[in-house]
Structure 1
Amino acid sequence: MLETVGDVAQRFRLRVPTGEAGLTRPIRWTHLSELIDPTPWLRGGELLLTLGLQLHDAEDFAAYAVRLAQAHIAALGFGIGTHHPSVPPQLVAEATRHGLAVLEIPQGVAFQDITYQLNADLLRTGAAESRLIAEGVSAMTQVARSAGTQGIVATLAHRIESWAVLMDPHGTIHAAVGAARVHVDDARAAALGQRSRIRHPGLTVYGVGDPVRPRAHLVVAPRPDRISLTRELAQHATLLLDLALNPLSGGNTWGLARADAVDALMSGDSTLIERVSARWNLVAGDVTVALLRSRSRAVPLEENVLAWCAELDLPPLVSEESSLVTALVPVDEVPRWRERVTRAVEREGVPARCGLGTAQPLAASALSRQQAAQALAVAVADAKPVVDFAGLATGRLILQHLDPAARTALTTPLLPLLAGDTTRVLLRSLRVFLSENTNWEAASSQLGIHRHTLRQRMARVEELTGLSISTTEDRVIAWLALQALHADHPLDPG
């Protein structure tokens, strides 16, 4: 355990003109300096010893105290009798105002005696702390195998002799050990950045998983004398919690397993479906296929969908292929799923669109996926978070069921694109551009290309079709042609 400022004052019988403030701060090292600004050589937590040889007037004393307080030193030891007969009152006043303890060191107490004794003790304490860290990491690792996240958090709280809370990115508590209701409220406010008064200052928040998009937050309340121990153990705990929360996240094995399960369940093979359903603990009943696409390639949509499944306690039957994410949702969970996706898009800023098919037995889930693809195309076109196939407008359903001759008539303006663009790059670029309401930035981001490249493609579209994308009537003609073409390819929503 690190010695505090009060321990040092008592050991060397030093007067503390600043009173009780700051006496509980732990001391991590001692440092001697006569520089008027020693802060570039300080790391925080030091007992700084000085005779004040460079300090001459009230302005010097005040500025000196402010600099040291902002450097977060543990305390200032001020030697008297050589250059200053006592600790300058201006220094005492400013240090007191900032909660910085000042120890008055008389001539009879040598700086070398303080540094020698304290640093020797600190080295012994450091060795002991390293041993505590090693023991704590070992204990958390062992308990993680049997007790999961609750065991990891409980062991961490015991080792740091304080409380700890683990919550998901939305504030739902996974585990809380040693924490009362007020502690949990403070932990949630600290982790989510809520604008509320936190009654327990000094809380530390650690992200579990991706530092940019953590899958959980670990909040701890370090004791003043165990800050470094708490930091080391908490950082190790986040690694173990990451594995405990998603044990199969390593490599691509988990993704391949999910994709294979989704393919098998949608294969129509009743024997295979029954076997896979048993392995994934699926209850009997209808499912709805959800098909999702992100409006930005920078967003890890599959990870978001998996997080939503975990939050809603749904089986993670999710796969990603060609920028489309497929999820199988039990029919009785569809309302909660729809609400979750909508909240993610409208409140959390996830740039996604979702199409939902109708409820079908697993053996007929391929039909639900076709419907979800058509609903997704509408969601993209109308900029809606979620669209249900069952709620599609009658006009669109009629368009998708026109006879071939009628569809050919509608698609005639785009036939030059089909003839001259075997990769359909121009056709897809046109669809995305119109879906994004002719917004160059949004469309180019969706396609993953520079806006100048998109402008070149649209110029080529105009050249081949004779249509003008700057004219409302021509854009309507192009959009109807695209919708008619899409009716022939329901599995390709974009």
Structure 2
Amino acid sequence: MARDLASIARLLGATLVAGGALGPKATVASAVPVGDFAVVPHPQFATLVVGSPDEIARGLDDPERGDLLRLAVVVATGPLSAVPDGVTALIAPTVDPSVVLPTLQAVLATDAAAEDRAVLAATKVLALAARRSGVAGVVAELARRLDGWAVLLDRDAQPIASAGAGALHIGDAVAVAFNRPVRVRSRALQVHPVGTDEDMSAFLVVTARSGSTSRARDLSSQAAALLDLLLRTHDGSRTERLGRATMMRVLEDGGPNAVALAKEWGVRDRALAAFTLSARSSSVDAERAVIHWLEDLGAPHLLTAAQGVVTGFVRAEHIDEIADRATTFSVPLHLGLGSPSALDALARSVEEARRAHRVAATEGRSVVHYRAMPTVDLVLDRLAPGDARTLAALVDPLDDDLVDTLHTFLAENGAWGAAAARLGVHRQTLAARVRRIEHVTGLSMSSADDRAAAWLALRARR
């Protein structure tokens, strides 16, 4: 536990005079007798300089030593007649003067040992994350341990991995790592080179919202060394992910190749159901959670992950089990489930799962079955194929951007501000797009009937 000046004052029963640059929340780094004090302390950490009132007074009166003492925190073991301007001091402690320095050194040594043990324990967890999930696992675990965010950048300022960081955080990380002259919004950023000199391979940029700054620095340094090893070593987990992603594309494309691949992958079923899963928190490894579920069920790892969203296939008999696990997971998850489809035609199930997942994420629900959605169950499933095609034709003239705009606008119940924010565009841009949609489709977004028809058309569109 890092000690600040206020806690040290309470420990000694001393009066804190915060006249210098260091305030009550300044972290205490060390304690030395006034006779041994000769090194300028770090401006962000407090060095306690302990002496009798006469020793402290003589040191402050000396022009050369006085300037140094103003950068530290003087601790007078008795009453001090006057504290000069610009000096931070602890005066008149209630403990015996002879034990002030030993007490401070013992407390700081105990705290330093506790910090070391915490860093050691966290380093072991980082090593385990490296073995299980590679670079991404280390970065995610580090961000969780620091209760902040972490970004790993390559030498070209491109993100390799990040956790807990948004676009603004990544921009700040690039600015501080490469000394770019832009305004940085985040505070207390730490930059840790991954590698040395000519062998520099990346930069790790972190920030901690709370806790010890020194612990964050030490733990991040350990993580940087671990990442250096991972970046120079063949990453088997990454190769496995790339292989699974390639094979998943073959399954989704369907046809004889999909059937043959499924058999080689150990799938003996004639049909599979697609699922799409994401976690509300970016610190949760949804892919690892699904792999663990499939291992418990004795099912092959038919899945791939991109940007925190996992898409895969399960046997029909496992659909309810996957749904139950997603519902009871320790953090909120969003799961969309498609209907079972033949091995040579899985694309439809994938599209259903993605649509159901979008509904789950938008409405904050844990699990959504595509076939159980009211617009599907009560309307689309009851239409003749020709009628469904006629309904879908309402939005066929729209390109992909306008389809996405229409879906978002309707999903946000016609709220212009919320829809524009979700799309990442200005309200005027959204208004122009909606006018274009109305012109192309002949539907009016101010009409409840037309909005309902547009929503059903989007659902019917394949």
TM-score, normalization by structure 1: 0.47
TM-score, length-normalised on structure 2? 0.50
If you compute each CA radius of gyration, which structure gives the higher value, 1 or 2?
1
